[in-house]
Amino acid sequence: MNRRGWIFLIPAAVFGLLAAGFYRGLGIDPSVLPSPLIDQPAPHFALAPLPGDKSGFSSADLLGHVSLVNTFASWCTPCRAEHRVLNALAHTRRVPIYGIDYKDKGDVALAWIAELGNPYTRIGADDGRVGIDWGVYGVPETFIVDRDGRIRYKHVGPLTEADVERTILPLVARLER
Amino acid sequence: MIRALLSALALAVAMAAGPAHAVRPDEMLSDPGLEARARAVGSELRCLVCRNQSIDDSDADLAHDLRVLVRERIKGGDSDDQVVQYIRSRYGDFVLLRPPFELGTLLLWGGPLLILLFGGVALARFYLRGQASAPPPLSTEERRRLATVLGEGTEP
């Protein structure tokens, strides 16, 4: 090989870089978008209760303790699958779960809760505007808010038992320390 | 024949009307100037449900909500930039159909220029080297032998 032998390594190096980049890309879920609200204070809001329900849900409820905020809707099929997981989490009493009922009409959510059980400490009815403030682009989305009212984590899509075990509970424990 | 002409005319009229918008009449602002601004802002914002449509082109529920929000902010006296910033602070850079030019996107915007530069340098070097290593002109002796081989000169 002559002194320019290294030049043939360039395509190999470029291939290596591309392969590494693509390999990393395989692990990224394109349906999950990074939220600019992480580590930001949760938005200010005051949601009315569901029709016929007593308490609504407002940003003041989030102060002083770590909480889970879950957006759901009765028209959302993945939410139905997720509801069982939320019920189980509520049963452990590890962390209060607050519900934002996203764009439901009338009192359908109450019937939904009556059928599937109520894991929520408080539920607020949202016509979509508060959802936008939280950067919601598809229910269900779940947030973890620390005791200072800052959003610390966002989960897009239905929570599974594995998500709760591996991500939610460890983070809640860390934030409570 | 007349039918064909009429359909061609109808097609031309339909195409001249421009691309179909998802903006509903009940969303529009009564002031055409403000509505035009809302359209300009909306065409720059990505619908996060359908991903490759602007909120003006999308029929998704969220796109409708965002169109209404954009119009509310504009009516409330926000500048176009303020409206975009309002939505960007909630949904992140991905909501912008045109990625911003900043440190994180330097490679994205500068990449094509970089490739052009590298290619240009490589091409220039290739041709310059080609010139430099052109064979030296033939000597008198070589010319004579060439002429002999081609049968134009005389045998020595």
What B103-110 contacts at long range (C-beta under 8 Å, 24+ apart), as own/partner pairs, is none
* Domain with A146 in it: 38-176
What pLDDT sits at residue B18? 53
What pLDDT sits at residue B104? 84
- How does the average pLDDT of chain B come out, rounded? 87
Residue B155 lies in a domain: no
Q: Considering its fold, how many domains does chain A have in total? A: 1
Pairwise pLDDT comparison (B131 vs B129), residue with the higher score? B129
What pLDDT sits at residue B135? 76
Answer yes or no: is pLDDT of A26 > 80.
yes
Q: Using 50, 70 and 90 to split pLDDT, how confident is the model at A135?
A: very high
The arithmetic mean of pLDDT across residues B140-147, rounded, is 89
* Domain with B126 in it: 108-149
Q: Give pLDDT tens digits for A84-134.
A: 999 999 999 999 999 999 999 878 999 999 999 999 999 999 999 999 999
> Would you call A35 an interface residue with chain B, using a CB distance cutoff of 8 Å?
yes
Answer yes or no: is pLDDT of B16 > 60.
no
CA distance B78 to B72: 9
CATH code, domain carrying B77: 1.10.8.640
Predicted structure pTM score: 0.80
Pairwise pLDDT comparison (A52 vs B109), residue with the higher score? B109
The arithmetic mean of pLDDT across residues A4-25, rounded, is 91
- For B49, which of A36, A135, A138 is closest by C-beta distance? A138
> Would you call A18 an interface residue with chain B, using a CB distance cutoff of 8 Å?
no
ipTM of model: 0.86
Between positions 135 and 174 of A, the ones with CB within 8 A of B are: 135, 137-138
Beta carbons of A37 and B66 less than 8 Å apart: no
Residue A30 lies in a domain: no
CA–centroid distance for B47 within its chain:
19
Residue A13 CA neighbour count, 13 Å, CB half: 5
Beta carbons of B65 and A135 less than 8 Å apart: no
Q: Using 50, 70 and 90 to split pLDDT, how confident is the model at B58?
A: very high
CA–centroid distance for B34 within its chain:
27
CA distance B68 to A171: 36
CATH code, domain carrying A96: 3.40.30.10
Residue B39 lies in a domain: yes
The arithmetic mean of pLDDT across residues A127-153, rounded, is 96
Interface residue ranges in chain B relative to chain A, Cβ cutoff 8 Å: 48-49, 61-62, 65-66, 69, 87-94
Q: Give pLDDT tens digits for B92-122.
A: 999 999 988 888 889 899 999 999 999 999 9
- For A33, which of B65, B87, B92 is closest by C-beta distance? B92
Buried b (16+ CB within 10 A) or exposed e, A24-54: eeeeeeeeebebbbeeeebeebebebbeebe
What pLDDT sits at residue B11? 66
- For B92, which of A35, A133, A134 is closest by C-beta distance? A35
CA distance A123 to A55: 7
Q: Considering its fold, how many domains does chain B have in total? A: 2
Contacts of residue B87 in chain A, CB cutoff 8 Å?
A: 132
Beta carbons of B92 and A135 less than 8 Å apart: yes
